[in-house]
C-alpha cells in the first residue's frame, strides 16, 4: 500500500531572496522559516506503465503546459536516483490561493516525499530536503516542522534545511491578510533576479541576513517573541527595499499593503502584539500571539473591506497518511 505524503507550507521569517545557482536553486543566503499547520499538500505517486508522467492536481488532469514544471522535476529525480519509471501523481492542494500562501513549498516537499515513498528510496530527511529544494527552494524547509533553517550551501549536497526547533513551545500565530487585488504579478524568481542584478543594496542584504539569522536563532532559543517579531519585520521590509532599489524599481506592495503596515504600527502603539512579514506579493502575514490575534483580526476587518483573513498556527514536518 503506497502512502500519501503530506507536507505543510512554511513562512519565511528570514527571507530567501536571490539564487546564486539557478539550476540547482542554491540561494545566496541561509533563510529561516516557521512551518504552518493549516495549509498543506497531499501527494501520492503511483508507478505507471508509460513513458510519460501523468499529473493530477486537485483531481484535474494537467495539460502539458501546466504540468511542465512538475515533469521536469520528476526528470531530475529520475536522474538523481537512476531509475526510469514514470508516475501518476495525484496531488491535492490545501493551500487555497485565497489564503495568500504559495503552494510550491508544500507542493514540492510532498512530491519529493511521495516519490521517496513509492520508489522506496529510503531517503533521510536531509536527503529529502535536498530533493525538495530542486523543485522549489522554499520546499527544502517544509520537510521539517516548527522553526527551520535552510543552509545555503555551495553545491547540491550541501544546500538543505535543518530543524531549529520542530515543536517549539512558543506563543506565536500567523494571521494572513489577503488583499483582493488585480496587480500584475511579478514572480518571485524574476523579482529575485532583478534584485540581485540591479539593486545597489544587494551585497549588504547578504551580510544582513547572516547576522539576522544568528539573532533570530538566539531569540527563538530564549522564546523572546518580541525580538522574533522585530527581526522578522525588519528582514521582510529590507527584502522589499531590494525591490524598490532595483533598477528599474519595482514593488510587490499594493496600496492596501501600506494601509496594513500602518495599522500594525497603530496596533503596536496600543500595546497589541503584531509584526508584519511580506513575501513576493501584496498580502501581509501578521505575527501575533494567541491573545493578540483576535484583536488584530477584528481591527483589520473593521478598517479594510476588501481583505480576507486566515489564521494559522505552528505546523509539523512531512507526514505519511
Contacts of 198 (CB under 8 A, 6+ apart): 246, 247, 248
Q: Could you identify the residue written with the cell 521569517?
A: 13
Residue 238 contacts a second copy per CB under 8 A: yes
DSSP count for the chain of H helices, then E strands: 8, 14
Residue whose CB is less far from a second copy, 139 or 209: 209
d(CA 238, CA 13): 12
Nearer to a second copy, 5 or 246 (CB): 246
Q: Per CB under 8 A, does 254 bind a second copy?
A: yes
- Please state the closest distance from residue 172 (CB atom) to a second copy, in A: 19
For a second copy, give the closer residue by CB, 204 or 298. 204
| Interface residue with a second copy, options 68, 237, 301, 313 (CB under 8 A) | 237
Does position 39 interact with a second copy (CB under 8 A)? The reply is no
Is the alpha carbon torsion for 26, 130, 37, 288 positive or negative?
negative
Distance in angstroms (rounded) separating the CA atoms of residues 152 and 119: 28
Note whether 230 binds a second copy by CB under 8 A. Answer: yes
**How far is CA 250 from each of CA 29, 42, 116, 247, rounded to the nearest angstrom?**
22, 35, 40, 8
By CB under 8 A, residue 245 contacts a second copy? yes
- Range 40-99, binding a second copy (CB under 8 A): none
Asked if 248 touches a second copy (CB under 8 A), the answer is yes
Q: 82-96 b/e with 16+ CB inside 10 Å = b?
A: eeebbbebbbbbbbe
Give the burial class of 105: count Cβ atoms within 10 A of its Cβ; 0-12 exposed, 13-18 middle, 19 or more buried: buried
* Residue among 47, 170, 186, 208 that touches a second copy (CB under 8 A): 208
Region of 289 (left: φ > 0; alpha: ψ -120 to 50; beta: rest) is beta
Q: How far is the CB of 144 from a second copy (least distance, A)?
A: 28
3-state class percentages of the chain: helix first, strand second, coil last, to nearest 5: 40, 25, 35
Q: Is there a contact between 91 and 110 (Cβ–Cβ < 8 Å)?
A: yes
Q: List the x/- string, 187-206, binding to a second copy by CB under 8 A.
A: ------------xxx-xxx-
Decide whether 98 or 226 has the Cβ nearer to a second copy. Answer: 226
Per CB under 8 A, the list member of 257, 289, 292, 309 interacting with a second copy is 257
Is 294 one of the binding residues for a second copy (CB under 8 A)? no
Q: Closest Cα to residue 32, out of 7, 15, 9?
A: 15
Q: Based on the shown chain and the rule CB under 8 A, indicate whether residue 271 belongs to the binding site for a second copy.
A: no
Convert residues 136-175 into a mask of x (bound to a second copy by CB under 8 A) and - (unbound): ----------------------------------------
With respect to a second copy, which residue has the nearer C-beta, 144 or 299?
299
Cβ-contact 8, 142 below 8 angstroms:
yes
Residues lying near a second copy in the complex (CB under 8 A) are found at: 183, 199-201, 203-205, 207-208, 230, 233-234, 237-238, 240-242, 244-245, 247-249, 251, 253-259, 261-262
Amino acid at each position: 500500500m503506497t502512502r500519501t505524503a503530506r507536507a505543510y507550507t512554511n513562512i519565511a521569517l528570514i527571507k530567501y531572496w536571490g539564487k546564486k545557482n539557478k539550476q540547482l536553486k542554491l540561494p545566496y543566503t541561509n533563510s529561516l522559516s516557521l512551518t504552518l499547520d493549516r495549509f498543506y499538500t497531499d501527494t501520492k505517486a503511483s508507478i505507471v506503465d508509460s513513458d510519460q508522467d501523468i499529473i493530477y492536481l486537485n483531481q484535474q488532469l494537467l495539460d502539458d503546459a501546466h504540468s511542465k514544471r512538475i515533469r521536469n522535476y520528476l526528470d531530475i529525480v529520475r536522474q538523481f536516483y537512476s531509475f526510469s519509471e514514470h508516475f501518476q501523481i495525484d496531488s491535492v492542494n490545501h493551500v487555497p490561493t485565497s489564503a495568500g500562501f504559495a503552494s510550491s513549498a508544500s507542493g514540492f516537499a510532498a512530491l519529493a516525499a511521495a516519490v521517496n515513498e513509492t520508489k522506496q528510496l529510503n531517503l533521510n530527511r536531509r536527503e529529502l530536503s535536498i530533493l525538495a529544494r530542486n523543485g522549489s527552494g522554499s520546499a527544502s524547509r517544509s520537510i521539517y516542522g516548527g522553526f527551520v533553517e535552510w543552509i545555503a550551501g555551495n553545491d547540491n549536497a550541501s544546500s538543505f534545511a535543518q530543524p531549529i526547533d520542530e515543536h517549539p513551545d512558543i506563543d506565536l500565530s500567523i494571521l494572513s491578510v489577503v488583499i483582493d487585488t488585480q496587480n500584475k504579478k511579478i514572480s518571485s524568481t524574476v523579482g529575485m533576479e532583478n534584485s540581485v542584478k540591479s539593486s545597489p543594496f544587494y551585497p549588504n542584504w547578504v551580510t544582513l541576513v547572516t547576522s539576522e539569522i544568528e539573532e533570530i536563532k538566539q531569540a527563538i532559543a530564549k522564546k523572546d517573541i518580541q525580538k522574533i517579531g522585530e527581526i522578522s519585520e525588519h528582514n521582510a521590509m529590507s527584502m522589499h527595499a531590494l525591490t524598490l532599489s532595483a533598477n528599474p524599481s519595482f514593488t510587490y506592495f499594493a496600496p492596501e499593503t501600506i494601509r496594513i503596515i500602518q495599522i500594525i504600527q497603530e496596533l503596536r502603539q496600543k500595546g497589541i502584539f503584531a509584526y508584519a512579514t511580506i513575501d513576493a506579493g501584496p498580502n501581509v502575514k501578521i505575527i501575533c500571539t494567541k491573545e493578540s490575534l483576535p484583536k488584530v483580526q477584528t481591527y483589520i476587518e473593521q478598517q479594510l473591506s476588501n481583505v480576507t483573513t486566515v489564521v494559522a498556527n505552528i505546523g509539523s514536518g512531512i507526514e505519511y497518511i
